[in-house]
A and B are shown apart, each in its own frame.
Chain A
Amino acid sequence: MSEQKIIEIEVLRYLPESDQAPRPEVYKVPFTDDMSVLQGVQYIKDNFDGSLTFRWSCRMAICGSCGMMINGIPKLSCEAFIRDYYPKRISIEALGNFPIEKDLVVDLSGFIEKLEAIQPYIIPKEPRTVEEGEYIQTPAQFADYIQFTSCINCTLCYAACPQVGLNPDFIGPGAMALMHRYNMDSRDGGQARRMEIAASEEGVYNCSAVGYCSEVCPKKVDPGNAVNINKINAGKDYFLRFLSPKGGAK
């Protein structure tokens, strides 16, 4: 049998009851080549310190709960493998641009509020009765928004966005991508209502096109593109509102 390999994992710990500020702690973790960084963190919890706190569920990059800064880069920890970092040390930290609740867990309440604010559900153009039957959507209409449905709310894009860090009220890439997903749906008629948010002070114009959000997105949603398309839409809405009274921005 080959020798047991050991990786050093440095975790930024924060226990709100006893720590004034977060502090790094290093653990020596034995690992095998099939182990993810998440499994490394689980090893620490099971063998060294049961108080280490982090979130995870699916272990297969779909629930979106295990995001962490791994060597400063926002990643799903179940999708990052220890072998790719070995023999260097791995540093992990709670997702950037969010307040740290405890250890690797961040306070997501602001994000949840933003998600609610963009009204992420179909707002029908006009009420439709059961007798009228289902909506018909062509493959082309479906293709308009399918990419933006892949978002798993992992918030890696928020951790990647310096504008979110500088202005925590900015609606941010992920929620904007979801807003765009509904706006682009042929069954939806809520664009004017959502425009109030898109064009507001918390809206699209906080984005300075850094583009790192789209780079780190594990689902290829390209949230940065959704934000930038809505800059154009918000601009059009602003100018066209003088011609047509239907624009939503106030």
Chain B
Amino acid sequence: MSKRRPYVRSMDGWWKKNPFYVEYMIHEGTALFIVAYSIVLTFGLVRLAQGEVAWNGWLEAMKSPLSIIFHLVLLVAIAYHAFTWFKLFPLTTPPVVINGKKLESGLIVRSGWTATIVATVVSFVIVWGIAA
């Protein structure tokens, strides 16, 4: 008779066992803040469709201290999500080969950030232009 009795260890609390996993869980968790922000924006769009009074009410609500604090929290959480997302960029993208050389991962991360910053500045300028 076989004396084998392979022991399977429990996965309970696995994500607390390594700082790498903790970072992963926070990264995944902060995605919820992006959902929250998109709900806020969608709600704004609904109010806009309902006419001027509704829209102005929404704008006022956005200016309340509570809303500003909420948006600051969102900003921090989403910035963290973006930071860790870009860190994973080289893991998830196919290798980029230029002149027979593979692009090193640091450069992939930096080009991701550059694109983000450029896009942010451009949207700022456009919105600024429309508002002015």
Contact = CB atoms under 8 A, between A and B. Distances in A.
Q: How large is the interface on B (under 10, 10 to 19, 20 to 34, 35 or more residues)?
A: 20 to 34
Contacts of B91: 209, 211, 214, 222, 224-225, 228
Interface stretch (A14-22, A45-53, A191-199): A14-22
B7 A210 contact: no
Interface residues of A, number: 30
Contact of B7 (A73, A99, A140): A99
A32 to B, nearest CB: 30
B50 interface: no
Contacts of A215: 20
A16 B5 contact: yes
A5 B104 CA distance: 42
Interface in B71-110: 88, 90-95, 97, 100, 102
B7 A162 contact: no
Contacts of B95: 225
A16 B3 CA distance: 7
Interface string B96-126: 0100101000000000000000000000000
Interface of B: 3-9, 11, 14-15, 17-18, 20-21, 24, 28, 88, 90-95, 97, 100, 102
Interface of A: 14, 16-17, 21-22, 72-73, 96, 99-101, 107, 140, 143, 162, 165-166, 208-212, 214-215, 222, 224-225, 228-229, 232
27 contacts: A14-B7, A16-B4, A17-B3, A21-B7, A99-B6, A99-B8, A100-B7, A100-B9, A101-B4, A143-B100, A143-B102, A162-B14, A165-B11, A166-B14, A209-B88, A209-B91, A209-B92, A210-B24, A211-B91, A212-B20, A222-B91, A224-B91, A225-B90, A225-B91, A225-B92, A228-B91, A228-B92
